[in-house]
């Protein structure tokens, strides 16, 4: 049986060692990775049922807010599909996301940036894709954020994504950026991605057709996970 997954294109992903992103210098292996086809151990993965979700899990404007209040900031909807490299939807995929507030401040005990916390914004959400691989959530657009790398480095506005596909081989963490942000190309973390075409896949498009008039802008962000191989000629009849 051939259920193996497409090999990752490691020239498309960021390499481990990217010295302008300084923390990578001591946190990157020096030995080569051991490359092998996937086995059942990687071709399987955990399943998350809709029963884990609460009604506000994909509404960051309200899921941490107190007494009917709402988070402050530019109201946006982020939506898209989780697909695999063969262009098939990935239904039932758990998508987790986290972000800073509208001022660029994260709600995390180790964070010390002077921009204020928003008492009505936590910054975490999650969704499970439907039968067509679709997910959506509502939030405020995160602010840019300074970080101690270079003397004056700032992260562009971004939302972190963690995605579970159907196989542990598909496990992925990435970041979503916003169309037109002039800070994207000055960021050392963005620049860990060697190919501009690969970066394009992480920049969400403003979608005026999906806005809610007088309420929220919308950004579309599709996520692609590794595809499963389907060998045409094998010594058995078998669907895939």
Partner 1 sequence: MQRLDYLKESPSQTAGPYVHIGTNPNWVEITGVWKDDLGLALVGPETRGERILIEGTVTDGAGAPVRDALIEIWQADADGLHNSPAETRGTADPNFVGWGRQPVAEADGTFRFETIRPGQVPYPDGRVQAPHITVWIVARGINIGLHTRLYFADEAEANAGDPLLLRIPEPARRETLIARRSERDGIPVFTFDIRIQGDNETVFLDM
Active site residues: 106, 145, 155, 158, 160
Alpha carbon distance 93, 127 (integer Å): 8
C-beta of 213: minimal distance to partner 1 in Å?
A: 29
C-beta of 7: minimal distance to partner 1 in Å?
A: 7
* Contact in structure between 105 and 121 (CB atoms under 8 Å): no
DSSP code, position 142? P
C-beta of 232: minimal distance to partner 1 in Å?
A: 14
| Residue closer to partner 1 (CB basis): 3 or 186 | 3
Residues whose CB falls within 8 Å of the CB of residue 191, separated by 6 or more in sequence, listed in order: 18, 20, 21, 185
| Residue closer to partner 1 (CB basis): 6 or 206 | 6
Q: What angle do CA 63, 60, 168 make, to 5 degrees?
A: 105
CA 93 to chain centre: 12
| Residue closer to partner 1 (CB basis): 110 or 208 | 110
The owner of tokens 């969704």 is 127
Helix or strand holding residue 176 (H, E) = strand 172-178
State in Å, rounded, how far the first CA of the chain is from the last one. 10
| Residue closer to partner 1 (CB basis): 198 or 211 | 198
| Residue closer to partner 1 (CB basis): 74 or 238 | 238
C-beta of 157: minimal distance to partner 1 in Å?
A: 14
Residue 134 φ then ψ, to 5°:
-85, 145
C-beta of 147: minimal distance to partner 1 in Å?
A: 9
DSSP secondary structure string for all residues of 61-84: TTTT-STT----S-EEEEEEEEEE
DSSP code, position 179? T
């Amino acid at each position: 049986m051939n259920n193996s997954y497409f090999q990752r294109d490691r020239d498309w992903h960021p390499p481990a060692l990217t010295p302008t992103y300084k923390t990578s210098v001591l946190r990157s292996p020096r030995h080569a990775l051991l490359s092998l086809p996937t086995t059942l151990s990687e071709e399987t993965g955990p399943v998350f049922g809709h029963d884990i979700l609460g009604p506000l899990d994909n509404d960051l404007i309200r899921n941490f807010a107190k007494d009917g209040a709402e988070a402050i900031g530019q109201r946006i909807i982020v939506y898209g599909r989780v697909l695999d490299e063969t262009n098939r939807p990935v239904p039932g995929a758990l998508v987790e996301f986290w972000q800073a507030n509208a001022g660029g401040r994260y709600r995390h005990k180790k964070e010390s940036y002077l921009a204020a916390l928003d008492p009505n914004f936590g910054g975490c959400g999650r969704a499970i894709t439907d039968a067509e691989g679709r997910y959506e959530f509502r939030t405020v657009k995160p602010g840019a954020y300074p970080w101690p790398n270079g003397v004056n480095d700032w992260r562009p506005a971004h939302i972190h994504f963690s995605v579970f596909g159907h196989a542990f081989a598909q496990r992925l963490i990435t970041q979503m950026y916003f169309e037109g942000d002039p800070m994207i190309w000055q960021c050392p973390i963005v620049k860990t991605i060697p190919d501009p075409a690969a970066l394009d896949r992480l920049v969400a498009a403003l979608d005026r057709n999906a806005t809610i008039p007088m309420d929220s802008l919308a950004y579309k962000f599709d996520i692609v996970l590794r595809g499963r191989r389907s060998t045409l000629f094998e010594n058995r009849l078998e669907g895939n």
